[in-house]
Amino acid sequence: MTYIVKPKNHHPLLEKNELGLTRRDYEGAVSTLCAGCGHDSISSAIVEACFQLSIESYKVAKLSGIGCSSKAPAYFLNQSHGFNSVHGRMPSIATGAAMANHELLYLGISGDGDSASIGIGQFIHCARRQLNMTYIVENNGTYGLTKGQFSATNDLESKSKYGDDNLFPSIDLPSMAIQLGASFVARSFSGDKEQLVPLLKAALSHKGFSFLDIISPCVTFNNHNTSTKSYDYIREHNDALSRPDFVPSGKEILTDYPKGSTVDVPLHDGSLLSLEKISENYDPADKIKAIQNIQESQRDGKVLTGLLYADPEAKDLKEILNVSDKPLNEMDLNDLCPGSEKLKDINSGLK
Amino acid sequence: MTYIVKPKNHHPLLEKNELGLTRRDYEGAVSTLCAGCGHDSISSAIVEACFQLSIESYKVAKLSGIGCSSKAPAYFLNQSHGFNSVHGRMPSIATGAAMANHELLYLGISGDGDSASIGIGQFIHCARRQLNMTYIVENNGTYGLTKGQFSATNDLESKSKYGDDNLFPSIDLPSMAIQLGASFVARSFSGDKEQLVPLLKAALSHKGFSFLDIISPCVTFNNHNTSTKSYDYIREHNDALSRPDFVPSGKEILTDYPKGSTVDVPLHDGSLLSLEKISENYDPADKIKAIQNIQESQRDGKVLTGLLYADPEAKDLKEILNVSDKPLNEMDLNDLCPGSEKLKDINSGLK
Amino acid sequence: MKIKSVNDFVIKFANVNGSGSASANQMFAKGVFRSGIPVSPKNIFPSNIQGLPTWFEVRVNEKGYLGRREGIDLFVAMNPQSYQKDVEELKAGGYLIYDSSWKRDFGREDINILEIPLTKLCVQEFTNPKQRLLFKNLGYVGLLASILEMDKDIYISLIEEQFKGKEKLIEPNVKALNIGYNYAEENFKDYCDIKVNKSNKTDGLILTSGNDAAGLGCVYGGATVCAWYPITPSTSLAESYSKYSEKMRVEIGTEKNKFAFIQAEDELAAMGMTIGANWNGARAFTATSGPGVSLMSEFIGLAYFAEVPTVLFNVQRGGPSTGMPTRTQQSDILCSAYASHGDTKHILLIPSDPKECFDFAVEAFDLADRLQTPVIVLLDLDLGMNDWSTKEFEWDDNNQYDRGKVLSKEDLDGIEKFGRYLDVDGDGIPYRTYPGTHPEKGAYFTRGTSHDEYAGYTEDGVKNAEMLTRLVKKFQTASSLVPSPVFNQEKNTSSMGIIYFGSTDCSMQEALDVLDEQNINIDAMRIRAFPFNLEVWEFIEDHDLLFIVEQNRDGQMRTLIMAEGGIIPDKLVSILCFDGQPITAEHITNKINAHISGKPALVAS
Amino acid sequence: MKIKSVNDFVIKFANVNGSGSASANQMFAKGVFRSGIPVSPKNIFPSNIQGLPTWFEVRVNEKGYLGRREGIDLFVAMNPQSYQKDVEELKAGGYLIYDSSWKRDFGREDINILEIPLTKLCVQEFTNPKQRLLFKNLGYVGLLASILEMDKDIYISLIEEQFKGKEKLIEPNVKALNIGYNYAEENFKDYCDIKVNKSNKTDGLILTSGNDAAGLGCVYGGATVCAWYPITPSTSLAESYSKYSEKMRVEIGTEKNKFAFIQAEDELAAMGMTIGANWNGARAFTATSGPGVSLMSEFIGLAYFAEVPTVLFNVQRGGPSTGMPTRTQQSDILCSAYASHGDTKHILLIPSDPKECFDFAVEAFDLADRLQTPVIVLLDLDLGMNDWSTKEFEWDDNNQYDRGKVLSKEDLDGIEKFGRYLDVDGDGIPYRTYPGTHPEKGAYFTRGTSHDEYAGYTEDGVKNAEMLTRLVKKFQTASSLVPSPVFNQEKNTSSMGIIYFGSTDCSMQEALDVLDEQNINIDAMRIRAFPFNLEVWEFIEDHDLLFIVEQNRDGQMRTLIMAEGGIIPDKLVSILCFDGQPITAEHITNKINAHISGKPALVAS
Ligand SMILES: Cc1ncc(C[n+]2csc(CCOP(=O)(O)OP(=O)(O)O)c2C)c(N)n1
Ligand SMILES: Cc1ncc(C[n+]2csc(CCOP(=O)(O)OP(=O)(O)O)c2C)c(N)n1
Ligand code: SF4
Ligand code: SF4
Ligand SMILES: [Mg+2]
Ligand SMILES: [Mg+2]
């Protein structure tokens, strides 16, 4: 287990990254979520990851559905355009947006209600299309914004705050994503920044559909002791696959893990996700095994976290559809309009 | 491989079952599907299964979405009520209907477009709720009724009739169903009645969510030689797990398979699905293994058919929700209305 | 100057949400109600769970005027974030109560300030940090009880009732109440000129919300299946049904449920389940709000055309799109009446108070079964989620459910050939059968595609047009079955009329009295259903000028009236309010006065 | 008796679907078109793939009257299943052609029967069983060429063009044509008094469908993203876009696509993708039909309120519900104009022929960008899927796309504070920015929840009401930008007017001429867009009696006019046709005559 180990050297807020920006420059509006909400920790992990990667905020599009989680994009990356769409439909908005301009970085934030219930169809088909985006589900096992109904990721053994039993098995989004064609799939925990930040950095650097299922306790409606998505429960049942470290492209690989105990996942831009093996079952390249691992650990009451699956070679939707490299939204009449001569030909063809 | 072996003794159409009915009594309107359409074979397998099980047609509700496949319920069981709903939404209609009266047998017919695209959310959640129904996808890898677009179950290697490549990986509904809580999952082929009929009989006898993915070639739009859902392709790549035989409750088990080579799956009503092992991988009780089998065979370019998974002990939605045994649609005012005295109490409570 | 008033004032609370204030404020209102004075508490909450400004308004009015009224007499300001705006709302001579643990100058000379160091007092008295926070709320309730000279025992009983079963909590709560009460007794004796005097004006009334009432109505109306998806402000309707069912619908002995309550995966599924259950002979309903109605519209069209009874509660909120999920509007009239593509029209029932929500819920199932079509009951957030002082629920044990034209096995035995869509009785309503009724007869295929009288699929366009025309006839039949409008007068005496509907009723009663005092004679009609019946058209016919009061931007009810009735539009004048707050009597009277005098109104629309 | 006519007749084909007949029938029509006579082929097909009756009607009319006309002059009856009904449709003196391989008595003395043993002939000539079936179709085309005295070479060229690249197939096809041609030359020389004489009335015309034209218009209009879900009758619109894009939008050198064509998983996703792409600055559209529009309505409300340009083609089919998927109607007017919950209104464009489909497709993108709102282009099955003799497409190479108010990096540099929803110009239209434009300025949050001028989330209801009111202003601006109505007359001269729209145009031209011959003077206006502009209102104002011709049950355009314009309903008389067939000129004139004379019309509505 990797968390609770706090980051060793404290980074002052004013430290600068390669762009000369501080963490502050990656923040957003003040959160209106409940104090202690896991979603806020994820926002700050996103800030950290973007800061460390020296991402240009204005080249990021933040997309979401509806829910407490879907509000989160307002709380990071102030200089990014955001789109808070309708419930469960972020993936289609992301797909259209990414087709219009493949050069931005698409970061989708959703909730377990948003993605596993009303939005499960869009989630599935977005993964299947291998859209180049990072898709995060801030998974609290509940409908936070509508006040605590069970979501479809809630576990069978879990009870509600008011003592009601959850009657149905949980939907495991990571195994679904792997099956469907996602090429980067990880699970993490909002309370474990040391694991989360490198995974986020790798996901953001990965080309293709990167999916992160982040357990993110809802302190108001699903943090009681009969919940399986509470801080305590996750801390106790977390079974980390690996301790990740992310090395941007062009940087030397510097990990302090003993040799031989690491797996390196090279990403398309040359950056490396370097992973210290913790679990033996670990092989992020084997799809079928990955699903099996997840399901076995679920059966055994454990919550497997870490990088579950990665295929750095996978194509993304733009390539699959063979869309041109000049962003479609930059094309003008000269690029797009076949003109009057061609139309004359068409007319003659229709005689 | 089990098919092509034609049934040994030919049953004349006028043979009678326990109810004194002939196969004719289980037929429906004349099909308007294309000659040779796999869906018609499935309809006749359903007729056969219902005949053999001596099902009372009027105790069956036939439900469907929209598509060629969804028209099929008109072509069997004339004496059953049918509901041809809207595209992709059969599962919710079935759920409501089954809640209203748990005593009927619910038979849902859908297509791969209907279930894997527009209806994937309802499919998933219906399986997850363990609705007591038999859910059949007549899987032809294409949108028959709208003239041959690729469906989401079409395989990556497949080409359209017109030579276009299918660009996206296929969605495997059986592994999804198993993962989500379906308690009876099988795959078969419309051209293999010997396998299909016993599976159908078992599915109809099973209590809980029974899912059958039946490969059903579309002769008009997806039966060319670059299709992976054509008659020829399936005949060549079919990898049967088992040769099934269905023994209704109270009947002696009479299979002519050599001893030790069979697995018996007892269903809740005492009937037995007796399976001759063909493949070694075969254990219909192991969920995780089942999914692995499916995926490995898919990876290896095989189409695994037979009973993939069964849990005869599983609860169904009515039990999960603890709904009373008297069908809700038979309850009258005396059963349902709390009356004026109770209302007075409620009034006082609101003072 | 001090405002002086007995049993007639508006008090507003400003709090931070998630701090437990709503239940304390609710308790304050209930105390007034128990003192015999009608109240209308309104919770004005943000679309968020914790930490944002939230308000709670209570109008206390012995005459029973319970619509929203602008201008606050008493303000309990517990949220420094919103002090500035809050204090502005206070009328001159009004009273401001605030937590003087942190002293503050409000810069207004014309108000009366009551300082109480609530935080400090609570910190002194309680050690548990949660209690320190929570009990501030009961503290100001105690203070109010004192300055308004209310019977403190009422609140003590309310606390006791609330913590029945958790008796340990009674004592600290009462202590908290006393903190405020005693502080006020010591410091503000006779300070405040607003009083609550015991009365008997709540005899025969109860305090409840439209959602609670409608959920209960579904239980009484015999609904056995509820499929829904959470959405504000409709969630509590489904929850009410579930709560009452769990109490009153469990089989004795087996402990099994005589109902099925299903949280669907989305609104489409919720509607599908509702249709499936009704098709199969159970009474089933769903509850949602605007976005849900949009998502359900394909299914609504199916139920219309395949003629499946369906009950849908649409608790309207601020639109369009996700809009203002925690504010009220009446802006789904058109999208409900004409929901779905193609030529469709749907029955609407529009209750105006919780009692009517109960009654119309019951009636909705009868109408749906009788007419075999969707019935949409239109509430709004104000009516659905706020508690109203409303008449007691009534039930006549001789009531019977009208299950409509359903053929039994015996009926079928007597019929030559069953035609699911045959208009046997000439009222446009055909007969139906439940699946599983008869071994040989009565089976048919339900479909949303074109069909003939025998439910057979047809592509004969003329046949299909006949079916569509029969649906028009059925809709005409419906107009004689739906609830009639309610008139304010026994006989029309004016050339001017007002048309209104739904939750506007409470402000309208007051407006009509004010107009009467101003010697403006005007007839009034409250529409309660669509299609409009003869009485609606007669009222419109009878008047030269009609004001239509609506809580939306586009005058949707006016549109519906014009579209359906062929009404000369010039005589239909809209009075609109769409800022998400319930309309006030003043807004209505100002607009009418302005129109009559030809001067612009004082209130912005 | 024999019907005698030159270049003016209606021919109908009855076939079994899936048998290749549609393309032969199409070829027949094209042959007539190439002979210089305008034609309007109409495919009347079942909602199924193979084996059911299907019909194909071709009106041939030198004057250019191309609306449907009842009464068949020539019937090619190739489907014994439907003989009975088919023969009834034939006018007295008409000609029946059937496959006399199986002889048959049709029991009508008043028609002329041409027997040709097509099956037998094909069996003689061809060995491949598929060809034996398929070539019967070309056989009767050959026969028709002969009896109508057409130039056979036209058909030979058509065959050659069709099989360009598969030359081997030309010979057997020509042979099949000749089977019928030669048989007729031998047996029916001078038998038939209906003739096709070469003319020049198709100069400047092309033969194409509305869907094909609209798809091409999207290419010319600069659409780069199309997301859709298959549904009849809109599928071929998306496919046309894809086909033309693949031809004309591939980057030379890289062979990469300057477009993205995505088959979505359903209509909700298709609309979401369209909105996402437009939000990000690409021109994107989707195409669907009624059920899809219902499913999209939540998203349409989002695009309206968040002000994202969106183009949606709704190719209307028979409703409600799944209805008549292969029949035509104009019954989605209201559900399109008011789509979604809350107060919403949307731009509609209503083309009346393929040329206008092309033009309005181009215009839709300009309007959507300019107005930042959904633009819904309403076609119908008849217009979308059938080939029409329509004017040639035109394109002026000086055209520019109007991308509306989009701020560039430079623009942003010059702006103090960017307000996404600020009404800077007073026309209700704010400025927008594309993501990724400027490192520091112009980022904002798009949302369907209530927001202020700076796109900040707000729960201030008054602020929100301001935003909603600005949208009303924007809609007013729209009315001056959308296409004006088209008038039949230069100046109004009658007190009566006719209002019509869309595909009705072709029957209306004929009806107007007939009325003129009957000395009924009547002005006519074709509405082309919603919101209605001043010219529309003036026309209505100018007339005492107005007929509104619509292909739906409920008179939806009439409703819209009344609702929006405050029009006295008594002067608006509906002429309706909703049996799924295109309305005929006769239907229109009968209804008008009946109304004027006070007698009931001869045609059922
Ligand atoms: C169409 C529609 N249905 C329902 C809602 C109400 N709604 C808002 S948020 C939400 C669920 C949110 O749950 P989740 O996605 O898990 O987010 P969380 O609040 O738990 O972070 C629902 C049902 C809505 N806004 N729109
Ligand atoms: C809401 C909606 N969208 C689209 C359609 C058009 N449509 C009819 S059937 C069909 C697909 C059918 O495919 P599948 O379910 O695989 O059935 P098949 O015809 O292949 O058996 C579609 C898209 C529709 N009827 N309704
Ligand atoms: S309700 Fe739960 S999910 Fe929502 S903000 Fe509060 S803690 Fe977070
Ligand atoms: S099109 Fe395909 S699926 Fe449809 S009936 Fe024909 S063969 Fe069957
Ligand atoms: Mg959640
Ligand atoms: Mg299919």
How many whole angstroms separate alpha carbon C208 and alpha carbon A300? 47
Residues 462-481 of D with CB under 8 A from C: 462, 464-465, 468-469, 472
Residue A200 confidence (pLDDT): 97
Residue A4 confidence (pLDDT): 39
Residue B246 pLDDT level (bands cut at 50, 70, 90): confident
Chains with ≥3 CB–CB distances under 8 Å to D: A, B, C
| Confidence check: pLDDT of B9 > 60 | no
Residue B283 confidence (pLDDT): 84
Decide if B196 contacts B319 (C-beta within 8 A).
no
Stretch D203-207: mean pLDDT, rounded?
Answer: 98
Residue B266 confidence (pLDDT): 84
Q: What is the dihedral sign for C-alpha B89, B92, B96, B97?
A: positive
Q: What is the dihedral sign for C-alpha D495, D500, D505, D510?
A: negative
CB contact under 8 A, C280 and B340: no
Q: From residue C494, how far is each of C142, C491, D261, D317 by CA, in Å?
A: 49, 9, 63, 48
Decide if D349 contacts D311 (C-beta within 8 A).
no
Using alpha carbons only, what angle is made at residue C335 by residues D455 and D274, rounded to the nearest 5 degrees?
50
Chains with ≥3 CB–CB distances under 8 Å to C: A, B, D
Could you say which of B66, B120, B220 has the minimum Cβ distance to residue D49? B220
Q: From residue D108, how far is each of C173, D79, D94, D96, D187 by CA, in Å?
A: 96, 18, 11, 10, 21
Torsions phi, psi of D565, nearest 5? -110, -5
Residue C497 confidence (pLDDT): 97
Residue D382, number of CB atoms within 10 A of its CB: 33
Is A97 inside any structural domain? yes
How many whole angstroms separate alpha carbon B229 and alpha carbon B158? 8
Decide if C101 contacts C116 (C-beta within 8 A).
no
Could you say which of A121, A128, A172 has the minimum Cβ distance to residue B169? A128
**What's the domain count of chain B?**
1
Residue A5 confidence (pLDDT): 42
D323-365 per-position pLDDT tens digit: 999 999 999 999 999 999 999 999 999 999 999 999 999 999 9
Residue B253 confidence (pLDDT): 58
CB contact under 8 A, B121 and A121: yes
Residue A279 pLDDT level (bands cut at 50, 70, 90): confident
Stretch D571-580: mean pLDDT, rounded?
Answer: 95
| Cα D373 from chain centre | 23
What are the tokens at B60? Answer: 């069956």
B42-61 per-position pLDDT tens digit: 999 999 999 999 999 999 99
Residue A103, number of CB atoms within 10 A of its CB: 12
Is B332 inside any structural domain? no
Stretch D516-521: mean pLDDT, rounded?
Answer: 96
CATH code for position A86: 3.40.50.970
Q: Give CA torsion, residues D20, D24, D30, D32, to 10 deg.
A: -150
Decide if D354 contacts D536 (C-beta within 8 A).
no
Which residue segment(s) compose the domain that A35 sits in?
A: 23-321
Q: List CB contacts (< 8 A) between C302 and chain B.
A: 85-86
CB contact under 8 A, D341 and C331: yes
Q: List CB contacts (< 8 A) between D462 and chain C.
A: 579, 604
B292-341 per-position pLDDT tens digit: 999 999 999 899 999 999 999 999 999 999 999 999 999 999 999 999 99
What are the tokens at A236? Answer: 């106790």
- Closest C-alpha to C245, from C273, C223, C267: C223
Residue D420 confidence (pLDDT): 98
| Confidence check: pLDDT of A288 > 60 | yes
Residue C601 confidence (pLDDT): 54
What are the tokens at C85? Answer: 């705006």
B121-144 per-position pLDDT tens digit: 999 999 999 999 999 999 999 999
Is A217 inside any structural domain? yes
CA nearest to A95 within chain D: D273
Q: What atom in ligand 3 is closest to the CA of residue A33?
A: 5
Residue C586 confidence (pLDDT): 97
CB contact under 8 A, D230 and B150: no
Could you say which of B91, B104, B331 has the minimum Cβ distance to residue C436? B104
Question: Hey, is the C-beta of C412 within 8 angstroms of any chain B C-beta?
Answer: no
Mean pLDDT of chain A: 92
Three-state secondary structure call for residue A149: strand
Answer with the residue of higher pLDDT: B253 or A95.
A95
User: Which of B31, B32, B124 should we substitute to test contact with D (largest number of D Cβ atoms within 10 Å)?
Assistant: B32
Q: Which residues contact A97 (CB under 8 A, 6 or more apart)?
A: A61, A63, A83, A104, A106, D276, D277, D279, D280, D435
Is B240 inside any structural domain? yes
Q: Which residues contact D283 (CB under 8 A, 6 or more apart)?
A: D221, D222, D223, D224, D225, D277, D309, D311, D365, D368, D369, D401
- Closest C-alpha to D292, from D259, D317, D256, D327: D317
- Percent residues over pLDDT 70 in chain A: 93
Q: Which residue has the tokens 């009878």?
A: C542
For each of the domains in chain C, give its residue range(s) and CATH number, in order of start.
5-195 (3.40.920.10), 208-391 (3.40.50.970), 486-597 (3.40.50.920)
| Confidence check: pLDDT of D602 > 80 | no
Closest-CA residue, ligand 1 atom 10, reads: A67
Could you say which of A124, A333, A347 has the minimum Cβ distance to residue D222? A333
Q: What atom in ligand 2 is closest to the CA of residue B216?
A: 21
Three-state secondary structure call for residue D9: strand
What does the longest C-alpha to C-alpha distance in chain D come to? 86
Helices (H) and strands (E) in chain B, counts: 12, 13
Decide if D575 contacts D508 (C-beta within 8 A).
no
Q: Give CA torsion, residues D487, D490, D492, D498, to 10 deg.
A: -20
Instruction: State the distance from the centre of ligand 1 to the C-alpha of D128, rounded, in angstroms.
Output: 61
Query: Which ligand sits nearest to residue B33's alpha carbon?
Result: 4
How many whole angstroms separate alpha carbon A290 and alpha carbon A307? 10
Is B160 inside any structural domain? yes
Is A87 inside any structural domain? yes
B158-167 per-position pLDDT tens digit: 999 989 999 9
Stretch C514-524: mean pLDDT, rounded?
Answer: 97
Residue in D48, D231, D317 to alter for ligand 2 test, most ligand atoms within 8 A of Cβ: D231
CA nearest to C270 within chain A: A118
Is A328 inside any structural domain? no
Residue D601 confidence (pLDDT): 54
Query: Which ligand sits nearest to residue A139's alpha carbon?
Result: 5
What are the tokens at B101? Answer: 């009266």
Q: Environment class of residue C525 by beta-carbon count within 10 Å: exposed (0-12), middle (13-18) or buried (19+)?
A: buried
Residues 580-599 of D with CB under 8 A from C: 580-581
C197-224 per-position pLDDT tens digit: 999 999 999 999 999 999 999 999 999 9
What are the tokens at C52? Answer: 């944002």
Chains with ≥3 CB–CB distances under 8 Å to B: A, C, D
Is B76 inside any structural domain? yes
CA nearest to C265 within chain A: A117
Pocket lining: C430 vs ligand 1, CB cutoff 6 Å = no
End-to-end CA distance of chain A: 74
Cross-strand bridge partners of residue C318: C324
DSSP summary character for residue C502:
G
